[in-house]
Amino acid sequence: MKKQESIYRHPSQSFRSPFHSFIFLLSILFFRWISFEHGAAVGALMITSKSSTLALERFQAWNNNNAKSIESSTTLLEFVVRQEDLHDDENDRISRLSHFAATKAFTNALQSSNAANRACRSGNLMLNQAKVSGARRVKAGDTITYLNDKSDRRTNVPDDPDRAERFINARLRLVDTLSEKGFSHSPLRVLYEDHCMAVVCKPAGIHSMSWSGSFGKSLCLDEILPLLLEPPGTSPGVGKDNNIEEIFRDTDDESLPAPLPRHRLDRRVAGPVIVAKSRKASVEIGRSFEEKRVTKEYRAIVVGKVEIPQADSVLYNNSTSFTIHSDVDGKPSETFVVILGQTSCHVNRLLTDLKLFPRTGRKHQLRIHCANVLGTPILGDDLYH
């Protein structure tokens, strides 16, 4: 890894290069295993199951903050494509609807091309009033519309008292369980928080983001974040002498309807998750990940001795480090591996400690590379072992 130097400036001052440098520094600090082994909790008070009233107030605070944004913002956004917005080569990536919408048309509303693709599938992002694929090419004269729906089920407490009680108590119980030090070596806690973003330690055993298949079945990290984090304008961490609401207002930013994780960790993985609390922060963090300006570092214990494969898919560096180039699901994938050490094991005979740096983000990439390329599956992996 190359050493990078940057001068820290808070995101309230700029959401461009200084913010990117800040995100890079966060990635170095928080994606290291040691950071969440020994990091101290900073930020919001951990709510207990006895604090249902405080929990309800927290959900209402997020909703009230969001209501102010909705009243002062246009819900339906429209953009007419001009020739100067497009590159000369219309086969270039910029002409794809998803990329164009995220980087040109609605930069403050859509966090990334992936977010634009999801909006296309839901019908919120349309081309010439028609629902199309995010891969559709745009041309000069096209009209792109985006329905920027700012309501969020994660902070909408049901009106019915019985349902509201179940809604709050389920989330409080999960927070209590995940926060117990005896539950995990990396319990749920806030590692960093300011008025536009936060870093939260996710324990193993919980998904980072909810999806249609999880609704009504199991809660995910994004659904309990409103209990852990303060809405923008009320957060600690910027300084007692600063007027937080003034800083937030000066950035011309908006609160998100709920805290939003900007990347995912597998359910079985524990580690820090970067969370956006405002729209500009969400956009810039998402782009940092999409443009590969964030470095991720994982630690894994694998079963067996790691022998560096003599294959075209492996680029040898030295006796303890190498790079794997091996497709996952037919897509190019790359992982940099550092061997840290080995230890004997009564059950598995030998275990190897690895540092893993994924340079692409394929599903189960690290697990597949360890199991299929190295022949040493990650300890406890129930899919590839």
Residues with a catalytic annotation lie at 266
Kindly state the tokens that stand for 370: 């360890």
The residues pairing with 349 across neighbouring beta strands, listed in sequence order, are 345
Q: For residue 373, give the DSSP letter.
A: I
Note whether 356 and 298 are within 8 A (CB). yes
Please enumerate in sequence order all residues whose Cβ is within 8 A of that of 9, keeping only pairs 6 or more positions apart, or say none: 18, 19, 21, 22
Closest CA to 314 of 306, 303, 322: 322
Kindly state the tokens that stand for 8: 């820290």
Cα 146 to Cα 75, 104, 153, 276, 292, distances in angstroms? 8, 13, 20, 21, 26
Strand order through the sheet with 197-202: 189-193, 197-202, 271-278, 255-261
Note whether 274 and 262 are within 8 A (CB). yes
DSSP assignment of 76-94 equals: EEEEE--GGGS-S-TTSGG
SS3 323: strand
Kindly state the tokens that stand for 81: 């494509």
Note whether 358 and 298 are within 8 A (CB). yes
Helix axis angle, 113-122 to 279-290, nearest 10°: 110
CA 55 to chain centre: 24
H or E segment and range at residue 301: strand 298-303
